[in-house]
Structure 1
Amino acid sequence: MANCINFVETFCVGNEHAACNASLLSSMVQNNQAITIYFYADETHISAVRRILPDYYNGEIIFENLDIKKVRNSNVIFGALEQVKIIRSILRRNTAEKHVFCSIVDSSQIALKLIAKFSKSKYYVIPHAALCDLDKVYKLSSFKGLIKYLVSFQLWFRIFKLDNIKYIFLGKHINDHLQQRNLLSNIQHSFMEIPYIYTQQVENFKKLSNPITIGFLGIGSSEKGIEEFVDFYETCDESDLLFYHVGTLDRFHQNNDYKFKSLGSSGSLISFELFTKEAKKVDFFVLFLKEDEYKLRASGTFFDIIDFNVPIISLEEHFDYFASFGEDRNNYGIVAKNYEDLKYKILHLDQNRYKELKENLMEFKERISKQNPTKFLEL
């Protein structure tokens, strides 16, 4: 067997999925030191990944630039043809028999299946938000709707079920949901929790602030629950609770004049140092994830919050990420029936229980940080 392996990113640029890909690579170095590791990606994405990786790991990985401008600027058909060229060029560069595609979109899935059909290599595919296309309803009665379906992620996921392509889903909850819907018949598959490098050190547990600070972490978008955060804010008196958006708003919310404190204006760049400093000031982070939005996708925000060791608040109706680990979310934060109930539970929480929640989070973080996300490679 060849003693090298390719990690390939044919779509992401800059910081997109950089933390996830950096964690994949670092785990590969830690657990498979006898294997040469190649990482093929856009130049800006490689730079973002290398900033996250410790210096030692950077020295153990061979980075190769890919020109993916045409992929990102083309429609699905031309994007697929361009990626066929890219993948074929990678296959000619070394003797790797296993190739990990760190993310995949509709065009890259088409390209990969066309290549794999005539290849003896093994391909591992890690779909992110592209899986949400499986829930999309295409209007097949119209010509335009039919064309879109013929090149969709949904259709190509279901056809050409090849033994040398294995899908790796980012979470047990995704794997379970697809199995319940009988979508994995004759498809090679496995799952891992989203790869993550935990970097935040917590030496002394902070006590509850006065007033207590409720935070929303990261990009303020509908799928992450920014409207629900606003709704909760509007039911509260800021003399009791302080609301803080540690992040920026997406383009769909940038014109809203929200009254709560925000770390950055829409579209602004926030340094990692400032982001980290401000996140540590928060007493609770909301995790108002919609059930329908996250049954087929992972949440990097969940792992960011775990890394900061900040208890999580949510309503019973919201997606329960801890359940994917077989854990009770009540041990790591506050769960309530409605906003009034949530406010009451927060204001009546004592310091001892708050300290216990943070201790539980620390233990949980230690357990999941020991996982090896690259075990799916069966090396």
Structure 2
Amino acid sequence: MIIICEPQCSGFEHVPVNSALITTVKKAFSDEKILFLAEKDHLEQVRENLSDRGLGHIDFVPVAIANRQGPKISKVVPDFKLCYEVFKLARRNKVRRLLFCSTTTSFLYAIKLLQRLYDDLRCIVVPHGILSSVTQWPQRRILGYPMWFRNALLWFDTGRLRYLVLGESIRAALVQRFPRLGPLVFSIDHPYFFQPPESEILKIDRGLTFGFLGVGVRAKGIDLFFKLAKEVCYGRGNSKTQFTLVGSLVDRDIDDFASSAIVMPSPDQPLSRAEFCTRAKAIDYALFFLDPAEYELRASGTLFDAFAFLKPIIAIENPFFDYYFRKMGDIGYLCKDYEEMKSVVQELVNKPATDRYCRQQHNIARWIREFNNENQARKFAEIATGIWD
């Protein structure tokens, strides 16, 4: 048996990536029963997501998780309690293999300290966006120092804990910053359910549609997306060019968010998966305005959304995207800054790069086959076997 636990996410958060991760683990260890522990609503959505995958031998057990609101210190007791319950369950069932789909600072401390009591357990932890915090001192330098994730990462190593990051560029950047973590950190590509690419790759024969995928927040550059739409479409009259927010708008105080150049199918509520897919298929290019400093140690699931629908990328350079552009070849346009990005968009609006667009789609389609669950499972099996056995 393998125990997989999501220690902090509730509801829809991380449902797609956790569903794909569980599938990867199950395909890697097809003879093993999987026990998945998570908050009840999250658990049910993952169960539904996996219901037609034909995986079998997966049990779902709801658990109580810490309240995400409030200071980090408030999560210490519930995180330690959850970790203790997971470890106790593992020992009772004679399970040595544990995978945690995410972590908080206090939960990582809990794993490391409790491993001293449960020294037979071998743990893999998947840190997500929290990794970015290791590059910045906590705002409250004295009181915040013990709860800085950097310290949880570097202190109290047990020798029986490894980290799985979702991108080779993230592993390389983390090890460059902290060389002693080198033997402890492994990578796979971001788990994702890819459908077979469309057999017919269409040429551009109409006005272009540029899309912003995911939740519209300033941290992901939604303000720059609106600014770009306004500047590109200003004075064009009845131009067919469109900019579509394929997701909900969280930061609603952005100037001119009601511009006629912006199409927002569901500004107030998250799109259903079916509606998201329909809207994402309708765009021509996916735009990304992510902060390079944030995406040195953070993966982008929406990049894989763009890949899934064969949408070439137009993005401001960041280490995570740089890696895939080098790996996959011509899959779009990487720009130094906002102004270069605007210039690329304006040039494409004035003169669509039809032939290059088709080549970009073909490159994405070719690499999608490398990112499928079977290939991910083979790589995960190699990594996990060395850790768990």
Answer yes or no: same fold by TM over 0.5: yes
For the structure 1 residues 83 and 138, does the alpha-carbon distance in structure 2 shift closer, same or farther, using more than 3 Å as the test?
closer
Q: In structure 1, how many angstroms separate the alpha carbons of the residues matched to 2:96 and 2:60?
A: 18
Displacement of 1:227 after TM fit? 2.4
Q: In structure 2, how many angstroms separate the alpha carbons of the residues matched to 1:25 and 1:63?
A: 12
Pick aligned residue for 1:368 from 362, 368, 371 = 371
Aligned to 2:124: 124
For the structure 1 residues 84 and 42, does the alpha-carbon distance in structure 2 shift closer, same or farther, using more than 3 Å as the test?
same
Q: In structure 2, how many angstroms separate the alpha carbons of the residues matched to 1:244 and 1:202?
A: 22
Q: In structure 2, how many angstroms separate the alpha carbons of the residues matched to 1:67 and 1:185?
A: 31
The one-letter code sitting in structure 2 at the alignment partner of 1:211 is G
**TM-score (norm. length: structure 2):** 0.87
1:163/1:187 contact within 8 Å kept: no
2:325/2:331 contact within 8 Å kept: no
Tell me whether 341-350 or 169-178 shows the greater mean CA deviation.
341-350
The one-letter code sitting in structure 2 at the alignment partner of 1:129 is G
The one-letter code sitting in structure 1 at the alignment partner of 2:136 is K
1:71/1:79 contact within 8 Å kept: yes
Higher relative contact order (CA 8 A, sep 6+): 2
Aligned to 2:352: 349
For the structure 1 residues 87 and 360, does the alpha-carbon distance in structure 2 shift closer, same or farther, using more than 3 Å as the test?
same
Aligned to 2:281: 280
Pick aligned residue for 1:156 from 145, 152, 156 = 152
**2:311 pairs with 1:310:** yes
1:225/1:288 contact within 8 Å kept: yes
Displacement of 1:241 after TM fit? 2.3
2:170/2:320 contact within 8 Å kept: no
**TM-score (norm. length: structure 1):** 0.89
For the structure 1 residues 361 and 11, does the alpha-carbon distance in structure 2 shift closer, same or farther, using more than 3 Å as the test?
same
Tell me whether 350-359 or 183-192 shows the greater mean CA deviation.
183-192
Pick aligned residue for 1:11 from 2, 8, 12 = 8
Q: In structure 1, how many angstroms separate the alpha carbons of the residues matched to 2:40 and 2:288?
A: 33
1:11/1:103 contact within 8 Å kept: yes
Pick aligned residue for 2:163 from 167, 170, 182 = 167
Displacement of 1:190 after TM fit? 1.2
Equivalent position SS for 1:72:
coil
Residues 128-157 of structure 1: CA distance to partner in whole angstroms, max 9, x if unpaired? 011122022235xxxx53121112212221
Residues 47-94 of structure 1: CA distance to partner in whole angstroms, max 9, x if unpaired? 1112222434463211111022x4435643442222222222223332
Pick aligned residue for 2:266 from 264, 267, 292 = 264
Spell out the pairing of 1:2-81 with structure 2 (5 A cutoff). Answer: 4-57=1-54, 59-68=56-65, 70-72=66-68, 75-81=71-77
For the structure 1 residues 134 and 335, does the alpha-carbon distance in structure 2 shift closer, same or farther, using more than 3 Å as the test?
closer
Equivalent position SS for 1:244:
strand
Aligned to 1:102: 101
Aligned to 2:229: 233
Residues 236-273 of structure 1: CA distance to partner in whole angstroms, max 9, x if unpaired? 1351621111111224657863411112123x132221
For the structure 1 residues 85 and 311, does the alpha-carbon distance in structure 2 shift closer, same or farther, using more than 3 Å as the test?
same
Equivalent position SS for 1:371:
helix
Displacement of 1:340 after TM fit? 2.1
Displacement of 1:203 after TM fit? 3.1
For the structure 1 residues 280 and 272, does the alpha-carbon distance in structure 2 shift closer, same or farther, using more than 3 Å as the test?
same
Equivalent position SS for 2:37:
strand
Equivalent position SS for 1:20:
helix
1:50/1:58 contact within 8 Å kept: no
1:16/1:45 contact within 8 Å kept: yes
Displacement of 1:161 after TM fit? 1.8
Equivalent position SS for 2:370:
helix
Aligned to 1:242: 242
Q: In structure 1, how many angstroms separate the alpha carbons of the residues matched to 2:370 and 2:183?
A: 30
The one-letter code sitting in structure 1 at the alignment partner of 2:346 is K
2:3/2:99 contact within 8 Å kept: yes
Q: In structure 1, how many angstroms separate the alpha carbons of the residues matched to 2:125 and 2:348?
A: 43
1:19/1:196 contact within 8 Å kept: yes
Aligned identity (percent) is: 25
Aligned to 1:91: 87
The one-letter code sitting in structure 2 at the alignment partner of 1:360 is N
Displacement of 1:320 after TM fit? 5.2
The one-letter code sitting in structure 2 at the alignment partner of 1:123 is C
For the structure 1 residues 116 and 328, does the alpha-carbon distance in structure 2 shift closer, same or farther, using more than 3 Å as the test?
closer
Q: In structure 2, how many angstroms separate the alpha carbons of the residues matched to 1:170 and 1:255?
A: 35
For the structure 1 residues 341 and 323, does the alpha-carbon distance in structure 2 shift closer, same or farther, using more than 3 Å as the test?
closer
2:47/2:60 contact within 8 Å kept: no
Displacement of 1:163 after TM fit? 0.4
Tell me whether 74-83 or 129-138 shows the greater mean CA deviation.
74-83
Aligned to 2:343: 340
Tell me whether 218-227 or 341-350 shows the greater mean CA deviation.
341-350
Residues paired across the two proteins, number = 368
